Amino acid sequence: MPTNGNSSQIRSNGVEAQPLEAFELYRFFHSGDGETAALRGVSLRLRAGEFVALMGPSGSGKSTLLACLAGLDEPDGGHVEVMGLRLSRRPEAVRAALRARHIGILMQSGNLFEHLTVEAHMRFQMSLSRQSSQRTIDHLLEVMGLGGQRRARPSQLSGGEAARAGLAVALSSNPRVLLADEPTAEVDAATETDILNHLVERCRAGVAVLIATHSMALASYADRLLGIQDGRLTHV
């Protein structure tokens, strides 16, 4: 579990650790007598303040990669480091603590619990990393255009509102890394612009952002594009 309060960690060799690094990740899925190699040796590094777009066709491995980077799924080979600390193949409690402290995550679905309001989600997310700030909650709700939905439960939100709520929750603990899986897939162009401007602001404040997307608008905001095809990165 991390005990260092600094936002950056210095490795034993004196080199400053990056917010997120992946080393030769492999992930295989077995179904019946078939096997899918969803990741085949993916290595990447996200630097502080960098906005990276991950683009690839459906089934290319984007969601699998994000889940492994977040420590929600375990790679079959290779490992992930967050703020210089190994995330992969550690007990779930350790992975959960590292995730809560350093990583904001927005997956394609299943980001919200049915019984919690939007605001309660944000409060809960903050509490996981021992934070609490009404100002942060109010600011994020406003930026995401969710001021009127703070007491709404997920079933009362549209697809776009749910995506924005998921992002507000992911950002509420002030993570050093944000991983988002197609966050603007269901929002209109104006809302997408609002969300992207906010993410760019976060990047300027030093957050490393990796977003899987099909949106050319989103990709145009990126400092760097990563392509993925059949579980391998193809640098664009």
Give the binding site for ligand ADP (CB under 6 A). 29, 31, 36, 38, 56, 58-64
Segment (H or E) for 21:
strand 20-31
d(CA 11, CA 17): 6
Instruction: Provide, rounded to whole angstroms, the least separation between the CB of residue 157 and ligand ADP.
Output: 23
Return the number of other C-beta atoms located less than 10 Å from residue 168's C-beta. Answer: 29
Instruction: Provide, rounded to whole angstroms, the least separation between the CB of residue 181 and ligand ADP.
Output: 7
- C-beta nearest to Mg ion: residue: 63
Q: Which amino acid is at 214?
A: H
Instruction: Provide, rounded to whole angstroms, the least separation between the CB of residue 84 and ligand ADP.
Output: 26
**Which does residue 61 touch among ligand ADP, Mg ion, none (CB within 5 to 8 A, set by kind)?**
ligand ADP
**CB nearer ligand ADP, residue 153 or residue 214:** 214
Structure-block tokens of residue 13: 């060799």
**Which does residue 56 touch among ligand ADP, Mg ion, none (CB within 5 to 8 A, set by kind)?**
ligand ADP
What is the maximum span of the chain, computed from C-alpha positions, in angstroms? 53
d(CA 137, CA 169): 9
Contact criterion met (CB below 8 Å) for 165 and 149:
yes
Binding site for Mg ion (CB under 5 A): 62-63
Give the count of alpha carbons within 13 A of 126, CB side only. Answer: 17
**CB nearer ligand ADP, residue 65 or residue 209:** 65
**CB nearer ligand ADP, residue 56 or residue 154:** 56
**Which does residue 215 touch among ligand ADP, Mg ion, none (CB within 5 to 8 A, set by kind)?**
none
Instruction: Provide, rounded to whole angstroms, the least separation between the CB of residue 156 and ligand ADP.
Output: 28
**Which does residue 3 touch among Mg ion, ligand ADP, none (CB within 5 to 8 A, set by kind)?**
none
**CB nearer ligand ADP, residue 139 or residue 232:** 232
- Phi, psi for residue 206 in degrees, rounded to 5: 105, 0
Task: For 179-191, give one letter per residue: b (16+ CB within 10 A) or e.
Answer: bbbbbbbebeeeb
Instruction: Provide, rounded to whole angstroms, the least separation between the CB of residue 227 and ligand ADP.
Output: 11
DSSP 120-143: HHHHHHHHHTT---HHHHHHHHHH
d(CA 118, CA 149): 7
**CB nearer Mg ion, residue 46 or residue 212:** 212
**CB nearer ligand ADP, residue 63 or residue 173:** 63
Instruction: Provide, rounded to whole angstroms, the least separation between the CB of residue 203 and ligand ADP.
Output: 23
